Amino acid sequence: MKFSRNWLADYVPGLTADGAELGRQITMRTAECEGVEDHAPQLKDVCVARVESVEPIAGSPNVKAVVETGRYGRKTLVCGAPNCRAGLLTAYWPLGVKKIAGVGSEGMLCAGDELGINRDHNLIVELTDVAVGDPLPGLVPDAVIDIDNKSLTHRPDLWGHFGMAREVAATFGLELKDPTDISLLPSGEPQVNVQIEDFTLCPRFSAVVFENVKVAPSPLWFQYRLQAVGLNPINNIVDITNYVMAELPQPMHAFDADKVPGQTLIARAAKANERLEALNGETYDLDPSMIVVGGLDGPLAIAGIIGGDPSAIGDSTTRIIFEAANWNPVAVRKATVKLKLRTDASMRFEKSLDPENTLRGIARAIALMKLVCPEARLAGGVADVRGPAVAPAPIRISMPWMAKKLGRTIGQNEVVSILEALGFGVTSANGELEVTVPSWRATKDISMDADLVEEVGRIIGYASITPTAPRMDVVPPKINRERAFHNGLRRHLTHVGFTEVHNYSFVADAEARKFGFDPADHLRVLNPIAEDQALLRISLLPKIWKNIDDNRKHFDQFRLFEIGREIHKRPEGLPDEVPHLVAVVYAKDDGVAGLNQLKRLALDLLPEASFRAVAGVRSFEHPARTVAVMAGDTSVGRLFEFHPSFVEVGRAAVLELNLRTMEKLATGRTVAYTAVNKFPSSSFDLAVVVDARALAGDVAQHMPGAVFIEDYRLPDGRRSLLYRLTISRPDRTLTGEEVTAERTRLIEHLRAQGFELRA
């Protein structure tokens, strides 16, 4: 939203702040300013000039003109505008000397776009009733303040210059001048028939008729003001509607009265299959969710968005209907989305404009007509139809309460002064202030006492409030043990070289089936954000497999982990969300190292873990490289390698752990300190011969404290598993005979269990 500094100053007499200072103060007290730009600074040097003579330049479409500038003397210059002629009063800009078509040009005669007046580049401006050498009347350099639209969403009154001028006046302690004269509204029988079918769609509709209208370009100062804030001047009638919209802010529309059947305007919902050819040349299909301004024969405008071409103002228009209505903001917003059409008017109506503003818009348009089309005359009175109005209830506030909320003491007189400057009505009753909310702040903004505290606080300036810590008992938050447990796991895994990944908790039907899961066992999302995210996952494995598949294309080896929740159905109530850890080691090798790394990780996380063969493997698990992770007789998870059909290149080892079970085990675990042994230990190795499919862990169960060293395949297909045992005593050094006796005991024990030992 763009605001003209000069336009604001019209309503705040005595304002001396420049554009930069205005932008800073607005940011600190009202809304975020995104920048301030100078508009048409060249106007300080431009003056009125008279063309004395014009002669063609051989071989060039341009002409050589001699002009009298008064301020800068007589100048010779080159001009390419077709309307450059002797006797013309126009605008001269001294830009220095430049040779054009072989002729020295001392400055230039200016078109409208070169002065920031309009977008016309073909013709130089034509002036009347001015003196040579004078500045251009009504045209002075301006500063445009660009305000972030998001910070104005809750303030519909600030989508026009008068609303922002109220803020500026309150900020600087100046008076506010209202540009609207309600007394201009004519009395008598209206010459236009206005009807509203549903007051929820249109709370208010006002209209007035003008006769003897002459459609022509607006005065240059009028065009300049619109152009400064990004509105394109079109003609005097359309420019009035844009001016009122940018000023009050009340979007308006002008109909050619002779093109409105029966002089009747009806605010209603669109009918099925209705169509409208709009002013932008597009034809729109309408439906009953949209609002239209209808005539007796069909729609004339899409309410709050755009007018229709059949009833548009043209050069031959002599009678017009000005309408100013208030439209349902939700309906307007939905229509703009459905039609893919957003306009300056719709952006304002979406913000919940003040229904009381329609008559003010009509009154302001009447005043502007006297300036830009003085020959026009009103026909009849104002048509004004509205639904029931509900005044907002007064809000009571006490000064001690406000001081507590603000964090500083402020006098009652100052509070009253600030609120009244912002348009609130304030009376004192029983030691409290009773505040009446103005209509332009009641639609979407002020509704409670805390809102009024904010109003006072922003005007006095938040910098005037000394920051102090709140006086309250500080209670340490309750420790979330599950979160602390998970964070501890994260720290350990990242410390040993794993990278955490985060996946969506959704899977597609195809992903579930790939892993042998029945989609019917999953909870199905009623409104999925994407087609491939329709099921809540019952396993982290499908997504972690996708991570492996994506990363293996770029890396030869990596380690990943995810901590997430499996979501399982329950017969009744909410689903069961079970936290799980999945860690992966991928490498382009034989996979043994990855399995051993994850086995070590499992023992780090769960020291009492053991590994047992499983009765059956799942479709995605390697049949010879899958074990259950146990803690005693409790299953904690799985350690396996993905089946080769799931990983095209390389091997991916996976550790899957149930964190709910692990947390319960960790809660009951006690760790006792053991002093470092002062006496040397003794070690010896034992090689046990087993079948090709035997598990090293099953053998180790018979040798507490044994460390697996090597797996050697014998010529007959069996395997030799090498273990190292370390023994010691805390009170002395073991003798050789004692070490030998322990070794002999273990050998005999293993043989008694049916194991064969190698020498």
Task: Encode pLDDT of 198-249 as tens digits.
Answer: 999 999 999 999 999 999 999 999 999 999 999 999 999 999 999 999 999 9
State the Cα–Cα distance between residues 507 and 326, nearest whole angstrom. 47
Query: Tens digits of per-residue pLDDT, 262-287?
Result: 999 999 999 999 999 999 999 999 99
C-alpha separations of 698 from 625, 653, 704, 712, 714 in Å? 15, 21, 11, 17, 19
DSSP 8-state symbol, 290:
S
Q: What's residue 643's pLDDT?
A: 96
Q: What's residue 26's pLDDT?
A: 97
Residue 642 corresponds to which tokens in the numbers above? Answer: 């993905």
Q: Per-residue pLDDT for 672 more than 90?
A: no
Q: What's residue 458's pLDDT?
A: 96
User: Is residue 303 a contact partner of residue 313, using CB atoms and an 8 Å limit?
Assistant: no
In 520-620, at which residue ranges do the beta strands (DSSP E only) sit?
A: 535-536, 557-568, 576-587, 609-613
Q: What's residue 473's pLDDT?
A: 82
Return phi, psi of residue 497, to 5°: 105, 10
706 by DSSP, 3-state: which?
Answer: coil
In this prediction, residues 362-388 reach a mean pLDDT of 97
For residue 345, give the nearest of 306, 314, 312 by alpha carbon. 306
Query: Tens digits of per-residue pLDDT, 102-157?
Result: 999 999 999 999 999 999 999 999 999 999 999 999 999 999 999 999 999 999 99
Q: Where residue 497 falls among pLDDT bands split at 50, 70, 90?
A: very high
The overall average pLDDT reported for the chain is 95
pTM of the model: 0.69
User: Is residue 628 a contact partner of residue 635, using CB atoms and an 8 Å limit?
Assistant: yes
State the Cα–Cα distance between residues 367 and 322, nearest whole angstrom. 13
State the Cα–Cα distance between residues 561 and 267, nearest whole angstrom. 61
In this prediction, residues 322-337 reach a mean pLDDT of 97
Q: Please write down the long-range contacts of 637-646, taking CB distance under 8 Å and 24 or more positions apart.
A: 637/580, 637/581, 637/602, 638/614, 639/595, 639/598, 639/599, 639/602, 639/611, 641/591, 641/594, 641/595, 642/545, 642/548, 643/619, 646/545, 646/620
Q: What's residue 548's pLDDT?
A: 96
Query: Tens digits of per-residue pLDDT, 442-474?
Result: 988 999 999 999 999 999 999 999 988 877 788
635 by DSSP, 3-state: which?
Answer: strand
For residue 422, give the nearest of 438, 406, 445, 401 by alpha carbon. 438
Q: Where residue 318 falls among pLDDT bands split at 50, 70, 90?
A: very high
Strand 193-196 relative to strand 264-269: parallel, antiparallel, unpaired? parallel
Q: What would the CATH number be for the domain defined by 182-386?
A: 3.50.40.10
Q: Where residue 695 falls among pLDDT bands split at 50, 70, 90?
A: confident
For residue 244, give the nearest of 348, 142, 173 by alpha carbon. 348
State the Cα–Cα distance between residues 694 and 243, nearest whole angstrom. 89
Q: Which residues pair with 566 in a beta bridge?
A: 578
If one compares 759 and 165, the residue with the highest pLDDT of the two is: 165
**What CATH architecture applies to the domain 395-464?**
2-Layer Sandwich (3.30)
What percent of the chain shows pLDDT beyond 90?
A: 88
In the chain, CATH 3.30.56.10 sits at: 2-40+142-172, 395-464
**What CATH architecture applies to the domain 41-115?**
Beta Barrel (2.40)
Q: What's residue 671's pLDDT?
A: 75
In 101-199, at which residue ranges do the beta strands (DSSP E only) sit?
A: 103-109, 142-147, 193-196
Q: How many CB atoms lie within 10 A of CB 729?
A: 12
In this prediction, residues 245-259 reach a mean pLDDT of 98
Fold (topology level) of 481-506+536-668: BirA Bifunctional Protein; domain 2 (3.30.930)
In this prediction, residues 703-720 reach a mean pLDDT of 89
What percent of the chain shows pLDDT beyond 70?
A: 100
Q: Per-residue pLDDT for 617 more than 80?
A: yes
Q: How many C-alpha atoms does 444 have within 13 Å on its Cβ side?
A: 18
Fold (topology level) of 682-758: Alpha-Beta Plaits (3.30.70)
User: Is residue 208 a contact partner of residue 49, using CB atoms and an 8 Å limit?
Assistant: no
In the chain, CATH 3.50.40.10 sits at: 182-386
In the chain, CATH 2.40.50.140 sits at: 41-115
For residue 457, give the nearest of 400, 413, 419 by alpha carbon. 419
Q: Where residue 693 falls among pLDDT bands split at 50, 70, 90?
A: confident
CB burial of residue 61 (10 Å; 0-12, 13-18, 19+):
exposed
Q: What's residue 429's pLDDT?
A: 82
Residue 199 corresponds to which tokens in the numbers above? Answer: 């007051």
Q: How many C-alpha atoms does 481 have within 13 Å on its Cβ side?
A: 7
**Distance between terminal CA atoms of the chain?**
90
State the Cα–Cα distance between residues 274 and 26, nearest whole angstrom. 45
Burial letters 533-548, b for 16+ CB under 10 A, else e: bbbbbbbbbbbbbebb
In the chain, CATH 3.30.70.380 sits at: 682-758
Q: What would the CATH number be for the domain defined by 2-40+142-172?
A: 3.30.56.10
In this prediction, residues 367-395 reach a mean pLDDT of 96
Strand 47-56 relative to strand 306-307: parallel, antiparallel, unpaired? unpaired
Query: Tens digits of per-residue pLDDT, 640-654?
Result: 999 999 998 999 999
Lowest mean pLDDT segment, chosen from 118-122, 200-204, 690-694, 747-751: 690-694
Lowest mean pLDDT segment, chosen from 325-334, 651-660, 704-713: 704-713
If one compares 633 and 302, the residue with the highest pLDDT of the two is: 302
Q: How is the beta sheet containing 719-727 ordered, strand by strand?
A: 707-713, 719-727, 682-690, 756-758
Query: Tens digits of per-residue pLDDT, 1-58?
Result: 999 999 999 999 999 999 999 999 999 999 999 999 999 999 999 999 999 999 999 9
Q: Where residue 759 falls among pLDDT bands split at 50, 70, 90?
A: low
Q: Per-residue pLDDT for 589 more than 90?
A: yes
Q: Which residues pair with 721 in a beta bridge?
A: 688, 711
Q: Per-residue pLDDT for 670 more than 80?
A: no
In this prediction, residues 341-350 reach a mean pLDDT of 97
Q: What's residue 222's pLDDT?
A: 98
Residue 471 corresponds to which tokens in the numbers above? Answer: 């006086």
